[in-house]
Amino acid sequence: MPAMKVIRYGIHFTTLAVAAGIFWLVRGVQLPQWISNFNLFHYGIMGALHATSIVVSLRGRRTALRALGFITLAAALSASAPFMGLIGSVVWAPFADILRDKGLSGDAILVTGSAIGALGYWLSVQRFWFGAFRWAGCFWVVAFCVTSTSLVGLGLHILDGYDRGVAKIDPDAISPMLTFGWWLAFSTSLYWSETTGQTSALYGFLPGPKRKALVGFAVAVPLMLVVWYLAAMWWTPMDAVTLALPQRVRNTISDQLLSGANFGATGFPAAQRAVRLNPASEEALTMYCATGVRDAKDIEGALKACSRAASMTDNLFHAQVIAEAYEEGHRPCDGLPVLRKTMGEEKVDNISAIFSVGRLEATCGEMDSAETHLRAVVRLRAEDLRPFNWEDRPPGADVKPATYEKASRLALSEARQNLSALLTVLHKDAEAFDVCRAALGTALKRCSCRFQPREGVVCDFSATE
């Protein structure tokens, strides 16, 4: 006849589901700042709720004092888990540069905290309620919890980022996802350790061959998925394997390569792989365009990617990246159509796009359009002052530099300097002089502006003697 279990698991998993609901409801609750800047309540209640679900499902008698002590200890262990993970992550020091480069430093801390927390909590459960330590169970609880944290971390990486400006995953859901997975893994390991099987005096429960195979499969398969994912991200030759997988999987790896890349030359290898895995990705082509031009090893290939991305995009940021790449590739006018396509309406919150189009039109010799757009920029900058009843005058030393008013005046002054430079090119010298003085000071006797590369402008002037 099998021995009776210490925990009634039907009750335990039911109360654990209730605890999950409670945790979801209070996930945003924080202690006042004067008590703690660290989110002590959030992490503490993680341990307290799971410990409570164990206490209420115990089969034997338990005193209130012992139960309260166990719940308090669990809350303290849970609250200190982030610090233990941070301190314990020193074991990853030899791989620090790799982890930082791949954006996995946070994952290393999470996995380390998961392992240390699982071990400490398991020892507490054994000491309070089981009496004897079953060391085989120690291995399984750490394995289950680390696997759970790794899988949730993998899911968070896959769901990371934004789609059309909307986060793919609610930031408030990240902590509950990690917590619920860890709770389930820990409780499942306790269930396995109490299931009927072989026993020994030293190790307690020892599962039979079938159960070993089943548990090993349950741990090994998820870990293999994590290992494959990391290999697909880090090791370029894995692309040959990834390319044989369904397009949806290839798209996921492509997106993750882009999320860890930058727009400099160092981001080119990741962008190149991302395009190989998902040639239809606008984001991958845009990244390839920008990084390829800066890498400078295949300018023509990078500019072809720019052309493809420009034909696909309706995103202003992507258009600005493409236009900048064309400029760096010494073909600035090729970026003008995509900037125009994504420029949007003439309104205050769209000034930057209108200005970029106007400056590029001036570069490409489309002076009438450039004048129209640069005048619009000046008008919109002036309109931005009116809701605050700020006087339209050049920026001076009488306003503190760190204020929005000062920044607005400087932006309006810069817009007028650009318009003055264009009017000088168009030989409208009288108006150019008036606009330049409106930008820099009406008392100036001489004021002339000229364009500089990369949307810059410089003005020469002399003050009244």
- Give the model's pLDDT for residue 205: 46
Give CB contacts under 8 A, 24+ apart, made by 355-360. 355/415, 355/418, 355/455, 356/320, 356/323, 356/455, 358/418, 359/418, 359/451, 359/455, 360/323, 360/332, 360/333, 360/335, 360/336
The answer to whether position 418 is within a domain reads yes
Q: Exposed (0-12), middle (13-18) or buried (19+): which is 200, by Cβ within 10 Å?
A: exposed
The answer to whether position 90 is within a domain reads yes
The answer to whether position 2 is within a domain reads no
Q: State which of 234, 259, 294 marks the end of a domain.
A: 234
Indicate the pairing of strand 446-452 with strand 204-206.
Answer: unpaired
The answer to whether position 297 is within a domain reads yes
The answer to whether position 72 is within a domain reads yes
Smallest CA-to-CA distance from 43 within 21, 14, 74, 89 is with 74
Whether residue 338 is found in the same domain as residue 373: no
Q: State which of 207, 234, 261 marks the end of a domain.
A: 234
Whether residue 82 is found in the same domain as residue 191: yes
- Give the model's pLDDT for residue 219: 57
Whether residue 182 is found in the same domain as residue 323: no
The answer to whether position 193 is within a domain reads yes
d(CA 269, CA 295): 9
State CA 72 to chain mean position distance. 34
Whether residue 59 is found in the same domain as residue 148: yes
The answer to whether position 115 is within a domain reads yes
Number of domains in the chain: 3
Q: What is the largest CA-CA distance in the chain?
A: 108
Q: Model-level pTM? A: 0.61
Q: Which domain holds residue 398?
A: 367-462
The answer to whether position 318 is within a domain reads yes
Whether residue 311 is found in the same domain as residue 441: no
d(CA 415, CA 436): 10
d(CA 277, CA 376): 43
d(CA 134, CA 308): 61
What residues are paired with 167 via a beta bridge?
A: 162
pLDDT in tens, the chain (465 residues): 445 678 888 899 999 999 999 998 888 777 666 565 667 888 899 999 999 999 999 887 678 898 999 999 999 999 988 888 888 888 888 888 777 776 778 888 888 999 999 999 999 998 888 866 666 678 888 988 988 888 887 777 666 654 444 445 666 778 888 899 899 989 988 887 777 444 444 444 445 555 555 655 555 666 677 677 777 777 788 888 888 888 888 888 888 788 777 888 888 998 999 999 999 999 999 999 999 999 888 889 999 999 999 999 998 889 999 999 998 888 989 999 999 999 888 888 889 889 999 999 998 999 999 999 999 999 999 998 888 888 888 876 555 556 788 888 889 999 999 999 999 999 999 999 999 999 988 788 888 899 888 778 888 876 444
Whether residue 18 is found in the same domain as residue 149: yes
What element of type H or E holds 257? helix 247-259
Whether residue 210 is found in the same domain as residue 329: no
Whether residue 60 is found in the same domain as residue 156: yes
d(CA 7, CA 405): 66
Whether residue 77 is found in the same domain as residue 155: yes
Q: How many CB atoms lie within 10 A of CB 64?
A: 8
Whether residue 276 is found in the same domain as residue 378: no
Whether residue 284 is found in the same domain as residue 426: no
Q: State which of 208, 234, 260 marks the end of a domain.
A: 234
Which position has the token pair 């600005």? 320
- Give the model's pLDDT for residue 249: 83
Whether residue 175 is found in the same domain as residue 324: no
